[in-house]
Structure 1
């Protein structure tokens, strides 16, 4: 199985309104997010690629237009956790590229959430 991945970045604010008012994540705050999309396939195409990285440019455009420097509570339904962001980006990517096997989202350099069906 061949696997490739590509990393994307954006900055955004959010709050987790469903948490207790004294929880730090219930307050308005922001992150410099990292999104990593992973693709997997047993074979390569005629050019020797699983998929040309350039073909993932629509994800960068989607992130830049809909997520970068936005308030995530205005963009997504439900809790704006890293876990839900990973699932959201996975579903968006999988609808375009069937080889997508996982998406990871980081809010801080030490934390990651992954959605992999």
Structure 2
């Protein structure tokens, strides 16, 4: 199996309203998010790629136009905007456009990652 991945960045705020009020993540706060999209294929295409990295440009535009410097609770319309939730959301978006998508990872801090991989 051939695998490729590409990293994307955006900054945004969120608030985990479902947590107790004294939990630090219940307060409004922000992160410099890192999103890694992973694609895989058993065979390479006629150009020798799983997928040309340039074909991931629409995902970068999606992040820039809808997520960068926004409040994620408003963007996604719910109170539980966790890294896990974002990983699933971005996986679904990518999978519907790039069938080779096998996983999406989201980082909120340099030491934490969440991944959605069916």
TM above 0.5: yes
Stretches of structure 1 lacking an aligned partner (at least 5 in a row): none
Q: Which residue of 1 aligns with 2:95?
A: 94
TM-score by length of 2: 0.98
Q: 1:20 aligned to 2:23?
A: no
SS of structure 1 residue aligned to 2:49: coil
Stretches of structure 2 lacking an aligned partner (at least 5 in a row): none
Q: 1:106 aligned to 2:107?
A: yes
Q: Which residue of 1 aligns with 2:11?
A: 11
Q: Which runs of 4+ in 1 moved over 3 A?
A: none
Query: What is the alpha-carbon distance in structure 2 between the residues aligned to residue 33 and residue 21 of structure 1?
Result: 24
Total equivalences in the alignment:
117
1:62-73 matches, cutoff 5 A:
62-73=62-73
TM-score by length of 1: 0.99
